[in-house]
A = this chain, B = another copy of it.
Amino acid sequence: MIERAVILSTGDELTTGRIVDTNASYIADQLNQIGLEVVAVLTVGDVPQRLEWAWRNAIALADVVISTGGLGPTTDDLTTETVASIAGRPLIFSEEVANHIRAFFERRGRQMPENNLKQARFPQGAEIIPNPIGTAPGFRLEVSHEQRTVHLIVLPGVPREMKPMMEQCVLPWLKAQRQGATVTITRTFQTFGITESALDEAVMQVISPDEARVSFRASFPEISFRLTVRGEPQTAARKLEELSERIRQRLGEYIYAEGETSMEAVVGELLTRRGLTLAVAESCTGGLIGHRLTNIPGSSRYLKADFVTYSNSAKIQTLGVNPTTLERYGAVSEQCVKEMAAGARHNAHADVAVATSGIAGPDGGTPEKPVGTVWIALDANDMSFARRYQLSGDRGWIKLLASQIALDWIRRYALGLPLDRSLAFRR
């Protein structure tokens, strides 16, 4: 039974930091979805003894090894040779693959460089995995290690070649091998407004370690966690639903979504469902709220306008903030941020508006209004509410957290939840 996988990423561009290894996370995600456990990702450069080390360790750890990279035509592409040598198999030349490579160049009206024929050699016994886009096919090879069968799956490193090969060949094959038996199913919960340790504590109060595996992920200011349950398909599904219900009872409004999604997508869905239109007025967040909202396709249906009034004169002229307000209370004040929200809603003829005004730093703080002071307001037909937050962190972080609170306020407004409980989870 194939249970454990190792991902092997090879190439000097990875060990010198010139590119980020997105292949490994893609493959890990795909394997995870069909219930395989990735026990390790091993990354090494194009150095023969390092590759050999990585392959030997991968084979010792896993039932299936999926490798990317090192299948090109150049002399530093060593994957096929390394696998053949470790498996103790000679390299066999495939006339069929060679013809395929020649045809690839002919279609493009180019002469095939001789070294491309290197890509037509495979360890004896390998099953070829066609490459619909490039010249280098991959292959699958079975080897024995301490009475176990280990499947080696060798793919090119270029993501746009590797991905279709995974989707068209490797994943269907793996699924077929794993039919039946037990499954692993997962569910992700997105939260905002709870610290990581408080979340851990709250989750552990309702789920015991033998019921599910819980893994947390902090991508501040959002924290998500995933429940993983293993077992016979129906039992596992029932168990996961039961645990999810306990989680919902415990965390309530601090869960803003289940599944892989973002706060701005949730806000967009809610506004669409309620038929509400939105306006935004930003000072310290500088356009970030608008940017996040407009990352969602179709956001033009609910977002009317976002007024980034960075100067006092723009606050007065564009949003109709009273000059006396600015003189008397300053731009970072309850009065100003409320007038900004009301002005934005009025100007854009929107149903609801949020506004931010604060001091993102590093300069501009005073003893009364230190860096991190942020006022947020929401204005609607039936409410005008503002609150002061004292945030800490650098400029980028204060902008991000303030934008997140503003989005959470829109979500809370659309759901009829109290705005002042945002960011205020209590044990």
Which A6-63 residues have C-beta < 8 A from chain B? 9, 11-22, 24-32, 37-47, 50, 53-54, 57, 61
| Nearest 4 A/B pairs, CB to CB | A286-B294, A287-B290, A17-B29, A17-B28
Q: Does A272 contact B (CB under 8 A)?
A: no
A15 engages B41 (CB within 8 Å): yes
**Contact status A75-B200, CB under 8 Å:** yes
Which residues in chain A, 269-318, are within 8 Å of chain B measured between CB atoms? 280, 282, 285-295, 297-300, 303-311, 313-314, 317-318
Q: Does A133 have its Cβ within 8 Å of any Cβ on chain B?
A: yes
Question: How far is B57's CA from A61's CA once the two chains are assembled, in angstroms?
Answer: 13
A39-B18 in contact given A74-B197, A74-B200, A348-B311 (Cβ < 8 Å): no
In the complex, residue of chain B having the shortest beta-carbon distance to the beta carbon of A303: B310
B299 near A309: Cβ-Cβ < 8 Å: no
Residue contacts A-B, CB under 8 angstroms, 21 given: A12-B217, A12-B226, A14-B24, A16-B226, A18-B215, A21-B25, A40-B50, A45-B215, A72-B197, A72-B218, A116-B197, A280-B308, A286-B291, A287-B289, A288-B291, A290-B291, A298-B363, A305-B309, A305-B310, A313-B348, A313-B349
Take A196-B72, A215-B16 as given contacts and tell me if A363 and B297 are in contact as well, using a CB distance cutoff of 8 Å: yes
Shortest distance from the beta carbon of A132 to any chain B beta carbon, whole Å: 10
Whether A392 pairs with B74 at a CB distance below 8 angstroms is no
User: Once the chains are docked, how many angstroms separate the CA of A303 from the CA of B42?
Assistant: 45
Cβ contacts under 8 Å, A392 to chain B? 107-108
- Asked if A220 is at the interface (CB within 8 A of a chain B CB), the reply is yes
Q: Does A393 contact B (CB under 8 A)?
A: yes
Q: So how many copies of this chain end up in the complex? A: 2
A394 to B163, CA, bound (A): 13
Question: Which residues of chain B are near A13, meaning CB under 8 Å?
Answer: 215, 217
Q: How far is the CB of A2 from chain B (nearest CB, A)?
A: 16
Tally A residues with Cβ within 8 Å of B.
Answer: 117
Q: Does A397 contact B (CB under 8 A)?
A: yes
Give CA–CA (A158, B294) in the complex, Å. Answer: 27
Bound Cα distance from A195 to B19, whole angstroms:
17
Q: How far is the CB of A357 from chain B (nearest CB, A)?
A: 12
Give chain B residues whose Cβ lies under 8 Å from the Cβ of A43: 24, 40-43
CB-nearest residue of chain B to A426: B111
Check if A17 sits within 8 Å of B21, measured CB to CB. no
B-side contacts of A318, CB under 8 Å: 305, 307, 318, 347
Complex-state Cα separation, A204 to B160, whole angstroms: 27
